[in-house]
Amino acid sequence: MLTLIAFVVALGILITVHEYGHYRVAVACGIKVLKFSIGFGRPLYTWRLKNKPTEFAICMLPLGGYVKMLDEREAPVDAGERHLAFNTQPLKSRAAVVAAGPIANLLLAVLLYAVVNWSGLQEPKAVLASPVAGSLAERAGLRGHETVQQAAFTGDDLQTVRSFEDLRWRLTQGALNGRDLMLLLGGDADASKRTVLLELSKLGAIDADAQLFRKIGILGPWTKPVIGDVMVGSAAEKSGLKAGDVVERIGDIAIVDGQQLREAIRTSARSLVGGAGVIAPQRWQVLRAGQPLVLQLTPEVKQEGGAAVARIGAYVGAPPEFVTVRYGLFDGLWQGAVRTSEVSLLTLRMMGKMVIGEVSLKNLSGPLTIADYAGKSASLGWSAYLLFLALISVSLGVLNLLPLPVLDGGHLMYYLWEGITGRGVSDAWMDRLQRGGVAILLGMMCVALFNDVTRLLG
């Protein structure tokens, strides 16, 4: 139920803002607006404002909306109202009305990011866990428990890294855009500062998925290698492990954080031929209430995704250390604009790479995935939900600015042609372009829906 409510609320807000952008600019340009509708189909509720010609409506299918303006191309217009029709307006007014919807979505994203920046967000501190063995991070000299203070792409100035999520965003941008990232590390209080270079350009990344971060080698923030809840009848319970035990060594391997501990357990099954057999007992050295203790533990082997993975049946790793990331009034608004710009550019680059085949079409998401993330973000709190709304608002704004004839960007393309040649697109070409635009859009929707189903079933 939460997923459905969060999804409907998100759609309602984003569609309303988009259509209000069209409506507000149309009114400002002196155009008569006949109807403002949120949703399609049978109206559930309609109303009119006093002395206003516009009918406002909320309809049954909340999958879009529209603003219907007086237009001679759609119905006869009285001579006395011809100056109020959309089609009689100067080119700059028509272009402004069309562009106002996507721009409203982008401005909404700026405001949502700013609200989160002003209120503050609890995020993991930018302290690195042990890197994945053989990864880019390990080759760069990272060992774990380093604090990232600043970062910069090659050729840019160093900027403060406020949290691990801030770092993750920079890693994603660098990997997808093929830019190397310089990290300034602080470490412990008595450690000298040093820099490392992550050569992200060598990854040739096409997807921002879990495998990308395994290649980079930075999977999460540093956590204490402590045992949490232990399942009844599990390998952990049989060995004598208890919640609160701090793991120091497994065999000859010194354990420094929760990430390394999880990797050591998970990869225990690699020694088995074909993933079959029984893992040999392991010597675990732990601290219990400050006292050293040695235990013998034999992980259980399970099949996950066609691969053998070892499990001990206990929660591994303590929660990371959190910091409150908060900005002042103007800084928060500026950072909201910067993040909106960064997400917009990254979205455009990803779409461009999809077109030329450099990025997989698996990155396209449809309504099922959006609904799923709406529910998950809402369950995490209002800040996470606002960040989700901001991301979708940016995506909606950028998508509508694409030069596809059925979208706002397509109409702007027509107006660009009119501005250059001095004449509008002919009806014959308009019909061809509209048909082509519909075909492309339907194809994108089919791919996105297929990806949604694949993700949910997978």
Q: Return the active site residues.
A: 19
The residue written with tokens 């879990």 in the block is 210
132-145 burial code (b ≥16 CB/10 A, e <16): beebbbbebebebe
Whether residue 342 contacts residue 173, with contact meaning beta carbons closer than 8 Å, is answered with yes
- Residue 43 has, within 13 A of its CA and on its CB side, a CA count of 10
* CA pair distance 333, 325, nearest whole angstrom: 14
112: its two tokens: 């949502």
* CA pair distance 235, 225, nearest whole angstrom: 18
Helices 2-28 and 382-400 pack at an angle, to 10 degrees, of 50
Whether residue 278 contacts residue 301, with contact meaning beta carbons closer than 8 Å, is answered with yes
- Torsions phi, psi for 388 (to 5 deg): -65, -45
* CA pair distance 50, 148, nearest whole angstrom: 58
* CA pair distance 89, 107, nearest whole angstrom: 25
